Amino acid sequence: MRPGKIVCIGWNYSSHIKELESELPKVPTVFLKPSSCIIGDGDTIVIPDGVTNVQHEVELALVFGKRAKNVSEAEALSYVSHLAVFNDVSARDMQKEARASGNSWDLSKGMDTFGPMSEPVPIGDTDVKNLDLSLTVNGELRQSGNTRDMIFPIPFLISYISRYMALEEGDILITGTPEGVSEIRPGDVVCAKVEGIGLVTNPVAGQSKRRSSDSLRSSRFQPYLLARAERILFRISQSAV
C-alpha cells in the first residue's frame, strides 16, 4: 500500500505565529508534503548538503480511514481512523525565501526524511481537542503545547479542506505546531511526543556524513523511505479491517 498525500496546516497556534513574526490567518494555511518524506521511529533525519537552519515542529497527525468529501464539522472526526505523532521538519531559511518571493513551501518542507511519524494508533474515543504536545532535543524541552490552543479546531479543518479536495483513505492531515521551534543540527537527537498517542525519536545527520557512514546511496534511499512509509500505512489498513 502506498501512503496517501500529507495535507499540512501552517500557523494554527497563535504563539507559533508570534515567534515567526507572521499575522493571524483568516482561513487555514494549507500545503502538502510528499509521502516520500516519511520516516519512522529511530530513523535518521538527514540534512542535505547546503541546507541551513533546519527546524523541528511537533504536530498531531490524523489518518483517514475512509474518503471524506464535503463533510460537516459534526461528522468530520468519524472519517479519522488513527492518530499519530508527526515532526514537520522544515528548512526554515529556504521557507522564508520562498515566502518572500511568493513561491510555495513544498521544497523546504518536503525533503527526504523531513517527516518523522510514530506508529499510528486507533482514534477510539480520544479527545483530540485536549492533547498535550511536546518535543525535546538532546533531552532539553523545546516545545510544549496543547491542541485546545489551535486557532482552527480539527473538525473545522477537516470540513474546510474536504470542500476543496477529497481526503482519501490513508491520507494524513497534520494540524500545526505550537511555539518553541528551533534549529536542529547533525548529532542531535529529537523526540516528538503527543500524550496518550506516542512518540517518535530520531537522530540527525548531515547528508555527506550519512553517506560515508553507512553507504546509503541515493539509488537506495527512496525505496528505503517508501518501505518505511508503506509499513506504517499497511498497519493502519490492517487495523481498519
Task: Give the domain extent around 229.
Answer: 6-240
Cell numbers at residue 93, please?
531559511
Q: CA torsion sign, 95 to 84 to 40 to 188? A: positive
CATH value at residue 161? 3.90.850.10
Question: Parallel, antiparallel, or unpaired for β 198-206 and 45-47?
Answer: parallel
Residue 91: inside a domain: yes
Q: Sorting pLDDT into bands at 50, 70 and 90, what band is 238?
A: low
Q: CA torsion sign, 192 to 168 to 164 to 98? A: positive
> pLDDT tens across 143-182, in order?
999 999 999 999 999 999 999 999 999 999 999 999 999 9
What is the domain count for the chain? 1
Residue 1: inside a domain: no
Mean pLDDT, residues 32-39: 96
* Separation of CA 237 from chain center: 20
- Residue 126: which of 47, 208, 218, 62 has the closest Cα? 62
Q: Quick check: 241 pLDDT over 70?
A: no
Residues 117/86, Cβ–Cβ less than 8 Å: yes
Q: Quote the CA–CA distance of 3 and 233 in Å, as a whole number.
A: 6
- Residue 153: which of 131, 168, 136, 169 has the closest Cα? 131
Q: Quote the CA–CA distance of 50 and 87 in Å, as a whole number.
A: 21
Q: Quote the CA–CA distance of 195 and 29 in Å, as a whole number.
A: 25
List all residues 6 or more positions away from 236 whose beta carbon is below 8 Å from its beta carbon.
63, 65, 81, 82, 120, 170
Residue 129: inside a domain: yes
Residue 31: inside a domain: yes
> pLDDT tens across 42-85, in order?
999 999 999 999 999 999 999 999 999 999 999 999 999 999 99
pTM of the model: 0.88
Residues 71/168, Cβ–Cβ less than 8 Å: no
Mean pLDDT, residues 197-201: 98
- Residue 63: which of 125, 124, 2, 4 has the closest Cα? 4
What stretches of 26-131 adopt beta strand conformation (E)? 29-33, 38-39, 45-47, 54-55, 58-64, 80-87, 90-91, 115-116, 121-122
> What pLDDT is recorded for position 183?
98
